[in-house]
């Protein structure tokens, strides 16, 4: 499985991805972020699904970038170009994959800012090649293992959050997923792009780097639970007859 997260704020965008690759009984790590970083022309792609499908689609798209990158002046045009490569791979491999019992399940988060975009944007691309844009009302998107990290983001993250706050939320949502699913794990890769900077910044973190944050969060959760003003729940330990008296 995978945990990839894209967040949009008024300051810019964040990409966040684990690196766990699971194939049968084998577990390895591999980067799930592909990036293009040129003058006034920056984009990244994060994917979930079969690694073989992902690698083939990215290889085809990289050829398109090498030959036609100058023709993409808005991010949606690059998304459309990548979608064409995803559909190309589907035409070549989908039938044989499904015959072997595998799903053609390549989802992608595409983020960036190109020359004529007025701000950084994020898109969610479906395996069928169609897409949606991530906007203010839904300022984040997860692909892969989506269930465990959602509650933290829903309770804390908004379009008005700072990039710094967004990165903390991203880590905590990943940490919740990592603790609940054995197919999501360190190292993690992050990528940030501030408005109109056209300069993406990438970093990789290991558990040694960030484990203390998880320990801190665990202790704060325990303290918060202990101090919740939930006296009314004390009735749960008193029989109804005693309450009537």
Distance CA 4, CA 1 (A): 10
The answer, as to whether pTM is greater than 0.85, is yes
Give the three-state DSSP class for 118: coil
pLDDT at position 115 is 96
pLDDT for 245 equals: 57
Q: Please report, for the domain that includes residue 188, its CATH number.
A: 3.60.20.10
Strand segments (E) across 93-198:
107-113, 121-125, 131-133, 140-144, 188-194
Burial category of 240 from C-beta neighbours within 10 Å (exposed 0-12, middle 13-18, buried 19 and up)? exposed
User: Total structural domains in the chain?
Assistant: 1
Q: Hey, which residues does 44 pair with through a beta bridge?
A: 35, 111
Termini Cα distance of the chain: 55
Length of the chain: 245
Per-residue pLDDT tens listing for the chain (245 residues): 799 999 999 999 999 999 998 755 677 889 999 999 998 999 999 999 999 999 999 999 999 999 999 899 999 999 999 999 999 999 999 999 999 999 999 999 999 999 999 999 999 999 999 999 999 999 999 999 999 999 999 999 999 999 999 999 999 999 999 999 989 999 999 999 999 999 999 999 999 999 999 999 999 999 999 999 999 998 898 887 666 65
Structure tokens at 48: 């979930």
The total of other beta-carbon atoms located within 10 Å of residue 207's CB is 13
**Residue 154 CB contacts under 8 Å (≥ 6 apart), including other chains:** none
Alpha-carbon dihedral 153, 154, 158, 159, rounded to 10 degrees: 90
Please count the other Cβ atoms lying within 10 Å of the Cβ belonging to residue 106.
25
Q: Which stretches within 72-149 are classed as H helix?
A: 75-99
Least Cα distance to 141 among 15, 18, 30, 54 occurs for 15
What is residue 194's predicted lDDT score, i.e. its pLDDT?
98
Q: Which helix (H) or strand (E) holds 226?
A: helix 207-226
Q: What is the DSSP string of 164-185?
A: HHHHHHHHHHHHHHHHH-TT--
Looking at residue 11, what is its pLDDT? 98
DSSP character string of 20-65: EEEETTEEEE---EEEEEETTEEEEEEEES-HHHHHHHHHHHHHHH
Range of the domain at 97: 3-244
Exposure string of 38-50, with b = 16+ CB inside 10 Å and e = fewer, is eeebbbbbbbbbb
């Amino acid at each position: 499985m995978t945990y990839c997260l894209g967040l949009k704020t008024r300051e810019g965008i964040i990409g966040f991805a684990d690196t766990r690759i699971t194939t049968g009984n084998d577990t390895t790590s591999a980067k799930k972020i592909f990036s293009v970083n040129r003058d006034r022309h920056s984009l990244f792609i994060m994917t979930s699904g079969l690694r073989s499908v992902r690698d083939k689609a990215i290889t085809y798209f990289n050829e398109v970038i090498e030959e036609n990158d100058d023709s993409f002046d808005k991010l949606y045009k690059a998304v459309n170009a990548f979608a064409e490569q995803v559909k190309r791979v589907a035409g070549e491999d989908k039938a044989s994959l499904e015959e072997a019992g595998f799903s053609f399940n390549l989802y992608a988060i595409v983020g960036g800012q190109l020359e004529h975009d007025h701000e950084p944007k994020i898109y969610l691309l479906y395996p069928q090649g169609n897409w949606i844009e991530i906007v203010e009302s839904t300022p984040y998107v997860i692909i892969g293992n989506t269930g465990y990290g959602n509650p933290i983001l829903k309770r804390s993250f908004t379009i008005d959050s700072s990039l710094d706050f967004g990165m903390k939320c991203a880590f905590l949502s990943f940490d919740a997923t990592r603790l609940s699913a054995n197919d999501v794990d360190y190292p993690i890769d992050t990528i940030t792009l501030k408005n109109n900077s056209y300069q993406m910044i990438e970093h990789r973190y290991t558990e040694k780097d960030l484990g203390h944050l998880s320990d801190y969060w665990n202790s704060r959760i325990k303290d918060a639970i202990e101090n919740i003003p939930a006296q009314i729940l004390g009735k749960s330990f008193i029989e109804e007859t005693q309450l009537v008296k």
